[in-house]
Structure 1
Amino acid sequence: MAADFQNLQHRSEREKAQAKEFAITRFAKDLLDTLDVLSLALKSVPPESRHNSEENPRLVELYKGVELTEKQLLHTLAQHGVKPYNPLGEPFDANRHEALYSAPAPEGKAAGVVIDVQKIGYTIGVRTLRAPQVGVSSDSSPHAS
């Protein structure tokens, strides 16, 4: 009888944890588009203008504000087990990556490697929340099929 009660408690705790993770997963997925927009905003400012407050102080302030917002959102997601995943340089894995295109492998590089990341991916725990969208190196020899 005590063993049955203990099993019921463990199962209940497991189901509660799964329900919480499911709720966080849906909410986190919804926030990924916001992170993408913040990332695009940061990339749109030329590197030489990001910290040159003499040239355009308002742009520098805006850049810093967007950067802090992105960092805070990433920190908050990390507190709930959501982490960014950037596979640049890793071997392509169709189970973990979404290939958008392939291009000839750069000189001295192997085929089948992630050479560009268009959108970083995110994981929650050990599961993929969103696969990174990547470019993959291909065999550049004239006999490649």
Structure 2
Amino acid sequence: MFNSNKDIEEIVEDTHEDTLEDIEVAQEEDIRKGKLRVLKEKLKVAEKEKMTCLEDLQRMRADFLNSKRRLTEQLAVDTERAKEDFIQHLLPLADSFDMAFAHTDTWEGSDAGWRKGVEAIHTQLQSIFKSYDVTTIDAVGDVFDPNTHEAVSTQVGGGGAASDTVVAVLQKGYRMNDRLIRPAKVIISA
């Protein structure tokens, strides 16, 4: 079958080379599989880090939006407080106008030009109150309400008014946006 030793040597050599090639291919495949395994592990780690970063980002975004909402709400509250403070500083001025207008004899006896100027200033003050949604508490004839009235005195009989009814207002009360900023000082019937 085989002609010579040379043929046998060639066959052995070819087989040996094929075996070496198979071993090299197998080793290269093992190396590739190892690299693939390492790359897959790195991919898993990277995906895990990505998810962690995404969760952190979403949490930070939610925190930012919550902070922004709280700041907006706080700004609105602070703005309302500043408006109330401003109006409370104007209330003594309104009281002074009310006292001046209440003394009709003195008021009517004053110079007409001067009265007209004072009335114009009073109108400006009322316009400011209106622009800030400030309203007076009209209390005469109402049942006494400790949430909006401050009883300063009682009057026996009260002109036929029912008990605990407001018979006179000594100082007007005010609301701003339906929120009490000063109770009305009143006299109630006993």
TM-score interval, normalised by the smaller of the two chains: 0.7 to 0.9
Identify the residue that residue 71 of structure 1 maps to in structure 2.
Answer: 123
TM-score by length of 2: 0.61
2:175 matches 1:123: yes
1:1-145 correspondence runs (5 A): 1=58, 3-46=62-105, 50=108, 59-104=111-156, 105-107=158-160, 109-138=161-190
Output the amino acid matched with 1:101: S
Once the 2 structures are TM-superposed, how far is the Cα of residue 65 of structure 1 from its aligned partner? 1.9
Give percent identity, aligned residues only: 28
Once the 2 structures are TM-superposed, how far is the Cα of residue 23 of structure 1 from its aligned partner? 1.1
Output the amino acid matched with 2:84: T
Aligned pairs, number:
130
8 A contact 1:74–1:83 mirrored in 2: no
Output the amino acid matched with 1:16: L
CA distance in 1, matches of 2:63, 2:140: 49
Query: Is the deviation greater in 61-70 or in 110-119?
Result: 61-70
In proportion to residue count, which structure has more helix?
Answer: 2
Q: Secondary structure of 1:99's partner?
A: strand
Output the amino acid matched with 2:73: R
Query: Is the deviation greater in 2-11 or in 85-94?
Result: 2-11
Once the 2 structures are TM-superposed, how far is the Cα of residue 5 of structure 1 from its aligned partner? 4.1
TM-score by length of 1: 0.78
CA distance in 1, matches of 2:123, 2:174: 15
Output the amino acid matched with 2:117: G
Once the 2 structures are TM-superposed, how far is the Cα of residue 18 of structure 1 from its aligned partner? 0.7
Structure 2: which 5+ residue stretches go unaligned?
Answer: 1-57
Q: CA RMSD in A?
A: 2.1
In proportion to residue count, which structure has more strand?
Answer: 1
Once the 2 structures are TM-superposed, how far is the Cα of residue 4 of structure 1 from its aligned partner? 4.4
Residues 23-58 of structure 1 show CA distances to partners (whole Å, capped at 9, x for unaligned) of 1111211111111111111222339x74xxxxx6x6
